[in-house]
């Protein structure tokens, strides 16, 4: 290796470290364990656009969902996916009927003691698509703790085809890839630097 090239090596080191740090950050961001667990209290707004905002929400087991009207009255809440006008009785929406949810500022609360997916809709605006799903459970999206394939992903650069069976988001695996790439680059740079930098040259005996 030419000396000129060797001189440039140290300048690449921060880049390699930055890549590794970025990867580590992505791993943390994408790790389901570090991802925010569902809240015990969630508020869903019934808006002037006749939409639930957010329509889909996650709440912890035993948590409470508050439906609040911010516009476009009226928004009575009914349990069900909207296929039947009368809904189903999967959760108790008796406090969220026409009487209670008739003007801006009105709100009602529903407690969800059991895990599951609970579709709901607005009795008045269901035909406009005013419906959503409340997911109840302690873990967000039912992520698994499978660790298979982790070792293999450390060496590979990020790939769009993240292991689909892992239950972890692609960003997590991309993070591992970036981290490995950066760390590898840093190691190679340090090795080259030590090997070729004149100040580090070993005394020849
Ligand atoms: Cu409505």
Distance 52 CA to ligand 1 centre (A): 8
pLDDT bin (cut points 50, 70, 90) of residue 6 is: low
Ligand 1 centroid distance, CA of 115 (Å): 26
Residue 134: pLDDT band by 50, 70, 90 thresholds?
very high
Distance 172 CA to ligand 1 centre (A): 38
138-190 confidence digits (pLDDT tens): 865 443 333 433 443 344 444 454 444 556 777 778 888 888 888 888 888 87
Instruction: Give CA–CA dist 115/113, Å, rounded.
Output: 7
pLDDT band, very low/low/confident/very high, at 200 (cuts 50, 70, 90) = low
Whole-structure pTM over 0.75, yes or no?
A: no
How many Cβ atoms from other residues are within 10 Å of residue 123's Cβ? 21
List the one residue out of 126, 150, 140 whose CA is nearest residue 51: 126
- What's the CA-to-centroid distance between 38 and ligand 1, angstroms? 25
Cα 187 to ligand 1 centre (Å): 59
CA 94–ligand 1 middle distance (angstroms)? 16
**Cα 47 to averaged position of ligand 1 atoms, centre (Å):** 8
Quick one: pLDDT band at residue 32, thresholds 50, 70, 90? low
Q: 89 C-alpha to center of ligand 1: Å?
A: 19
Query: How far is ligand 1, taken at its centre, from the CA of residue 60, in Å?
Result: 25
Q: Tell me, in angstroms, the distance from the centre of ligand 1 to residue 49's CA.
A: 9
140 CA to centre of ligand 1 in angstroms: 27
Q: What confidence tens digit (pLDDT) does each residue in 49-60 have?
A: 999 999 999 999
164-172 long-range Cβ contacts below 8 angstroms, 24+ apart: 167/32, 167/142, 167/143, 168/30, 168/31, 168/32, 168/143, 169/30, 169/32, 170/30, 171/26, 171/29, 171/30, 172/26, 172/27, 172/29, 172/30, 172/31, 172/32
* pLDDT at position 49: 97
User: Given this model, what pLDDT does residue 147 score?
Assistant: 40
Ligand 1 centre from 35 Cα, in Å?
32
């Amino acid at each position: 290796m030419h000396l000129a090239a060797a001189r440039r090596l140290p300048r690449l080191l921060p880049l390699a470290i930055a890549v590794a740090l970025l990867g580590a950050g992505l791993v943390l961001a994408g790790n389901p364990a570090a991802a925010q667990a569902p809240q015990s209290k969630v508020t869903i707004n019934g808006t002037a656009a006749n939409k639930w905002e957010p329509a889909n929400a996650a709440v912890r087991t035993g948590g409470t969902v508050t439906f609040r009207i911010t516009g476009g009255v009226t928004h009575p809440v009914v349990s069900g996916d909207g296929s039947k006008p009368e809904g189903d009785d999967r959760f108790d929406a008796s406090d969220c009927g026409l009487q209670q949810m008739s003007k801006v500022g009105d709100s009602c609360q529903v407690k969800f003691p059991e895990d599951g997916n609970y579709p709901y809709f607005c009795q008045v605006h269901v035909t406009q698509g005013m419906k959503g799903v409340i997911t109840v459970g302690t873990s967000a999206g039912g992520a698994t703790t499978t660790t298979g394939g982790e070792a293999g992903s450390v060496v590979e650069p990020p790939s769009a085809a993240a292991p689909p069976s892992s239950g972890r988001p692609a960003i997590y695996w991309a993070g591992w890839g970036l981290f490995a790439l950066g760390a590898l680059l840093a190691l190679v740079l340090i090795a080259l630097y030590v090997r070729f930098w004149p100040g580090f040259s070993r005394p020849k005996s």
